[in-house]
Structure 1
Amino acid sequence: MHENNSGQNKGERHLMSPGKLNRGPIEFKSRPAERQGELMAIATTNVVCAQPTMSICNGVATMTREGFRRLPLTDAGSGQLKGIITVSDIVDFMGGGDRHNLVKNKHQGNFLSAINDSLRTIMTEQVMTLQPNNNINDAIDLIVGKRHGGAPIVDDESRVIGMVTEHDLLKALFQGQSLLSVEDVMSHSPRVTNPDCSIASVAKQMIKYHFRRLPVVSDDVLFGIVTAMDIMKYIGSGEVFKRIQTGDVGEVTALPVRSIITGNLQTTTPEKSINEVAREMVQKRIGAFPVTEDARLIGMITEFDLVRTLASR
Structure 2
Amino acid sequence: MNARDLMTTDVKTVHEDDEISDVLTRLARADFNGFPVVDDDERVVGIVTQHDLVHIFQPSDRTLWIPVGFPPFLETLEYAIDLSWDELDTELDLLKHSNKPVRTVMTEDVVTVDPDTDFDRILDLLADDERDINRLPVVDERGGLLGIVARQDVLRAVRDERRAAEASAE
Deviation at 1:252, TM superposition (A): 3.0
Q: Indicate the residue corresponding to 1:28 in structure 2.
A: none
Alignment of 1:155-166 (within 5 A): none
Unmatched runs of 5 consecutive residues or more in structure 1: 1-179
Unmatched runs of 5 consecutive residues or more in structure 2: 61-83, 162-170
Q: Indicate the residue corresponding to 2:52 in structure 1.
A: 230
Question: What secondary structure is seen at the aligned counterpart in 2 of 1:247?
Answer: helix
Counterpart amino acid of 1:201?
Answer: D
Q: Indicate the residue corresponding to 1:210 in structure 2.
A: 31
Question: What secondary structure is seen at the aligned counterpart in 2 of 1:264?
Answer: coil
State the 4+ residue runs in structure 1 displaced beyond 6 angstroms: none
Max Rg structure: 2
Describe the superposition over 1:186-229 as per-residue Cα deviations: whole angstroms up to 9, x where unpaired: 11041111111111111121122312111111112221111111
Deviation at 1:300, TM superposition (A): 0.8
Counterpart amino acid of 1:224?
Answer: G
In the aligned structure 1, how far is the partner of 2:11 from the partner of 2:38? Answer: 11
In the aligned structure 1, how far is the partner of 2:22 from the partner of 2:104? Answer: 14
In the aligned structure 2, how far is the partner of 1:228 from the partner of 1:248? Answer: 16
Alignment of 1:1-313 (within 5 A): 180-220=1-41, 221-236=43-58, 238=60, 247=92, 249-262=94-107, 264-283=109-128, 284-295=131-142, 296-313=144-161
Q: Which structure features the higher share of strand residues?
A: 2
What do you get for the CA RMSD once the two structures are aligned?
2.2
Normalising by the residue count of structure 2, what TM-score does the alignment of the two structures yield? 0.67
Say if 1:300 and 1:237 are closer, same or farther in 2 by CA, change over 3 A: farther
Counterpart amino acid of 2:111?
Answer: Q
Say if 1:192 and 1:287 are closer, same or farther in 2 by CA, change over 3 A: same
Q: Which has the bigger relative contact order, CA under 8 A and spacing at least 6? A: 2
Say if 1:278 and 1:225 are closer, same or farther in 2 by CA, change over 3 A: same
